Chains A and B, each alone.
Chain A
Amino acid sequence: MAGVENHIRFQEVFHIQGGNFTNAGSISSRVKEILKRAGLSDKVIRRTSIATFEAEMNVICYADRGNLSLLITPHFLKVVVDDEGSGIHDVNLAMREGYSTANEKIRELGFGAGMGLSNIKKNTDEMLLTSKFRQGTHLEFVIYLDKQNEG
């Protein structure tokens, strides 16, 4: 993931409180505003919004707390989410569409469909997910600003 040019145009870190469903989605909404002000394309904004929303939801649903950092360079944007919590036992399983560890409360709020990680994968150009079971999870993804594929 070494950037060819990594002149940072913008950088910000957001804190996410685990279990705080009230404001769930507010951070990805702020990220969207930032991208709009930065004049990025609709396609990039949409993809980033979806991926960031899912990442934010995962911290809220499953972790104790986390930090989401947004980095924008001339050629790509990168989001890194680090959380503390129970972590993911099996990353490959977690990536599978429909696989969910959500409890009933989470499902009743409209989450826990088991699509989050695959939604992130589908909407980003590079994605890395690692976890230390019982400690936390590290997620990062990159979206290129220069070329956008169809679909």
Chain B
Amino acid sequence: MSFVTVFDIVNSFRLKIRAGEKRLNEQVTGGYASDLLSDVIAHSRKGNVWITIQTHPNIVAVAMMKELSGIILAGGREPDADTIQKAEEEEIPILVSPLFTFEVVGKLYQMGISGMG
């Protein structure tokens, strides 16, 4: 079990933080990648970091519901203004990466974050 925190991920990849800066010390239990909200709701686990390209405020609701450690928007996507607002209110970290989902996941995997947790 790796003791990687969201903060570690931000530093490793030099991700930009768009919201939830106060809660970066959450431990990451694993990773989940999907753009289908019902899928994330059904299968993600508490503490997972979620990689997606969806930028609308519903992603914050899902992250709260599943107690995810954070959301990484891939492919250079930026969260909508309401998404940022909601994420700040709920203290859900939203990070952005210019890399595509496949690469983001690959690098997280190499850090020791797995999809099995």
Contacts and interface: CB of A to CB of B under 8 A. Distances in A.
Interface size class, chain B: 10 to 19
Interface in A92-108: 98, 100, 104, 107-108
A151 interface: no
Contact of A108 (B36, B53, B55, B77): B36
Nearest to A115: B53
A110 interface: yes
B55 A104 contact: no
Given A107-B54, A113-B53, A98 B78 contact: yes
A108 B37 contact: yes
The secondary structure that dominates the B interface is loop
Contacts of B38: 108
Interface on chain A toward B: helix, strand, loop, or mixed SS?
A: loop
B58 to A, nearest CB: 8
B107 interface: no
B56 interface: yes
Interface of B: 35-38, 53-56, 58, 77-78, 80
